[in-house]
Amino acid sequence: MKLHQRREFLLTGVAGGVTAGVAAWGARRLNGQQQATRESLIEDVVTANHILAAQEIVDAFGHVSVRTAPGAGRYLISRSVAPAQVTAADILELDLDSKPVGSEKRTSYRERFIHGEIYRVRPDVMSIVHCHAAALIPFGITRIPLRPVYHNSFFVGEGVPVFEIREGGGDTDMLVSTPELGRALAKALGNKPAVLMRGHGAVIVGKHIIEAVARSVYLEVNARVQAQAMSMGQRVTYLDEGEVRKRTEDPDPYGRAWDLWKRQAAR
């Protein structure tokens, strides 16, 4: 089964009714499922913000969102505050044009279009992270491709393209602050798990919030390990296509991490 087919299969499975296997992941972990309460979704977004800050994937900047339900045209994201400081009261609901729904007057991040435009074209994506992790920047500005060096970063083997904002955008302030730039970024991402942004950072997606957060953590680890290995001047053995595919079949490779990171972030 091809990776993107598998994604659609999973999406169908989730949208069409929780299967036994999926149910075993625990209801809290499947934020996309229809039974997830709004409260638990908000709690997950708050927790994800705190985890990403504690893991030093984001600093004062960066954001994370979750789609409200499979197939839904809405997503939850914080108003414009630093991830470590996000509380439930800061979470806004935006539509795919990245406009607040209802009578909401507060605004989210200037780069909220990253989220709306990816959700629009990637029905399989239920959660999105945007970060500036320093270890990722050298790969974006040198165009040396990220390749999978570590089994928990296996998803890197699906491909991590680079978004060059100059292509189409010309000279910008580097921020994805318009729907057009959001669409260009979503196009660069394609059907991949993540995209680097040249001189800026990265966007990482997932079929649920745990996957988006864990991929963010392990994308950064992969970058550090790969850079170190490449500097040692010998041929590097990367995970091959078969290994990536087999590892992808694990329904819950990161579940154990979420609870630990949540506890660590709470300190």
Contact residue for its own copies among 132, 178, 191, 252 (CB under 8 A):
132
Least distance (Å) from its own copies to the CB of residue 165? 8
* CA pair distance 210, 30, nearest whole angstrom: 9
Give the binding range for its own copies (CB under 8 A) out of 34-42, 96-104, 202-210, 241-249.
Answer: 241-249
Q: Number of C-alpha atoms within 13 angstroms, CB side, residue 53?
A: 21
Both tokens assigned to 60:
């004062």
In the bound state with its own copies, the residue whose beta carbon lies nearer, of 17 and 199, is: 199
Q: H or E element: which one contains 92?
A: strand 91-95
Q: Total residues at the site for its own copies (CB under 8 A)?
A: 64
Nearer to its own copies, 24 or 101 (CB): 24
124 contacts 204 by C-beta, under 8 angstroms: no
Q: Which residues are paired to 197 by β-bridges?
A: 163, 201
Q: Which residues contact 82 (CB under 8 A, 6 or more apart)?
A: 53, 59, 60, 61
What secondary structure letter does DSSP report for 117?
A: H
Indicate whether 106 belongs to the interface with its own copies (CB under 8 A).
no
Q: Active-site positions?
A: 111
Residue 78, number of CB atoms within 10 A of its CB: 27
Q: Which of 138, 168, 190, 251 binds its own copies (CB under 8 A)?
A: 138
Q: Which of 75, 113, 119, 154 binds its own copies (CB under 8 A)?
A: 154
Site of interaction with its own copies (CB under 8 A): 59-61, 80-82, 84-85, 132, 134-135, 137-138, 141-144, 148-152, 154, 166, 170-175, 198-200, 221, 224-225, 227-232, 234-240, 242-243, 245-247, 249-250, 254, 256-257, 259-261, 263-264
